[in-house]
Structure 1
Amino acid sequence: MCTTPSSAPPPPPPLPPVTCESKFKSNKPNEVSEDPSICEWASSEVDLKKACITYQICLTRAPFRYKYKHFQYILQEGPTCGLVALSMLIGGEVAPEELLNLSKFLGYSNNGEMLSCKDMAKLAEKVLNLAEMENITCTLKKGGLYSPEIIEDLLNGAILLVPYDADHNHSPCLKQGHTAHWALVCGIIIIEDPGEANTDSSNVYVLCRHGKSKLVAAWTLDELHKSNMNLLEFCPKKAKDGLLYVQPEGGLGGENGLRDQFLLFKYT
């Protein structure tokens, strides 16, 4: 009996070319690159190194200047992003659940929402006292998020609590306040020597924690500033979702709201 020989199997597909990006990024999102030369300057801080690899910042050489302070992440439940960020700031000494109860008692929130920087500043003062953290001062700031003064404060170890609009990936966007979120700014990276001009908005990154991710985010200070400036109104959809929210007099864009405001924490 005659048989027909089977055809040879097709050759394997060619290997993908090795690019700079594939070299620097891991196939696993939470895994740091195995190449020790990548972000070697950040090797003492695993979360900082992950952030710089993820956002492709200073991969092969150290930045001009940087400062980073580690905070343990806390993931939020419900609309408690501001309370979670505040709890991260104090190392969980007062848990988000306790902050929610306290904010309800004080009339600042019903569901965990914090739609007033003034109320957040008053809550922060009480929480710092509860946690007996006398070495931290809290100041409500109006304007000047993207300024030489704030940049210098961050380089000297200050921490910010900033409201902004969050996109689908939680990065800053411009949705008029409809996706208002809070971020804990725990570091800064200045990539190149800015010289005297200091006008390159892509040269200054801030390192941020927030309640919807375990990872440290890196955004330009300029985009965070612009997002903070566009917090004009409460989300119309949320206004009709059947829950009662504590909204500030004058709305998000007013002096009692969120727009162009943030909290500055300094260690003494």
Structure 2
Amino acid sequence: MAAHLRQPQLSVAMETVVQTAVRRGYTAQGEMFSACNMALLAEELCVCKAELLSGGLSGRNWAAVIKHLWSGQPVLIPYDEDFNHEPCQRQGYRAHWAVASGVLLGLNRGSVNNEHAQPDPSLPWLHVAKGGHLPCPITSTSATEVYILAKQGKSLRYQLWSLDSVAQSNGQLRMMDPLRANDGSQYVVPEEGVEAGLAGQAVLLYTQLQEPQ
């Protein structure tokens, strides 16, 4: 899904993704319990720069994710997937990856510069860019709500998720589902465990061939 967002667009077969990950020792059954390995795999297959974020999706990383999405670049985020594909908190038992490709900001009134944006004629609370690209208006005090446009591989559609709920789900990925861990199959798990490999981490993809800032 991330390769499709690359500029120019890149088509990568799922079989190629799995075979490459197995050959590199990142996975055995298709699982990916290491954000670091995911970044390396994405760089190789999407032919783009990947930046690994760690330390949680709040604070400085919260702003980094928003600005990255605002610039039209995707983010790969591990999280616990609920039955409706939305984020939940299951200690990592339902850990999956999602691709975020857009952001919706709820801003304090007056925080949008009228030089760059204007109210939509039919929805005055919705501001649209004047002409070119609208600079990201996010500051520590301007945003009251933040939602990301995300998709999990098994979902048929994109969904809007609260960034706070994603951050909470992402930060509590601690362990593999015991039922899965004891099902007799081989899995690739970091020596330090699932928490060290996934919790509080995400991967920024520079699919427009820009260098990380």
Q: TM-score, normalised by structure 1?
A: 0.60
Counterpart of 2:198 in 1: which secondary structure? coil
The CA deviation at 1:152 is 1.9
Map 1:72-83 onto structure 2 (within 5 A).
none
1:144 and 1:155 map into 2 onto residues whose CA distance is: 19
1:125 maps to: 43
Cα deviation code 1:15-73 (max 9, x no counterpart)? xxxxxxxxxxxxxxxxxxxxxxxxxxxxxxxxxxxxxxxxxxxxxxxxxxxxxxxxxxx
Moved over 4 A (4+): 85-92
Gaps of 5+ in 2: 112-139
Cα deviation code 1:136-156 (max 9, x no counterpart)? 421111135232232122212
Counterpart of 2:18 in 1: which secondary structure? helix
Map 1:59-74 onto structure 2 (within 5 A).
none
Instruction: Determine which of 3, 23, 27 is the counterpart of 1:109.
Output: 27
Gaps of 5+ in 1: 1-84, 130-135
1:166 paired with 2:81, answer yes
1:108 and 1:180 map into 2 onto residues whose CA distance is: 16
Quickly say closer, same or farther: Cα 1:264–1:207, change in 2 above 3 A.
same
Counterpart of 2:84 in 1: which secondary structure? coil
Quickly say closer, same or farther: Cα 1:88–1:240, change in 2 above 3 A.
farther
1:144 and 1:188 map into 2 onto residues whose CA distance is: 18
1:240 maps to: 182
Map 1:1-268 onto structure 2 (within 5 A).
85-90=1-6, 93-129=11-47, 136-146=48-58, 147-193=62-108, 197-198=141-142, 200=144, 203-254=145-196, 257-266=197-206, 267=208, 268=210
**1:215 alignment partner AA:** R
Structure with higher Rg: it is 1
Cα deviation code 1:154-198 (max 9, x no counterpart)? 212221000000111111011000000110000000123375524
1:112 and 1:259 map into 2 onto residues whose CA distance is: 19
Q: How many residues align?
A: 174
Report the RMSD for the aligned CA atoms in angstroms: 1.9
Percentage of matched positions with identical amino acids: 36
The CA deviation at 1:207 is 0.2
**1:218 alignment partner AA:** L
- Bigger proportion of residues as strand: 2
The CA deviation at 1:89 is 4.5
The CA deviation at 1:103 is 0.8
1:244 and 1:88 map into 2 onto residues whose CA distance is: 30
**2:199 alignment partner AA:** R
**2:191 alignment partner AA:** E
2:76 and 2:5 map into 1 onto residues whose CA distance is: 9
Higher relative contact order by CA 8 Å / sep ≥ 6: 1 or 2?
2
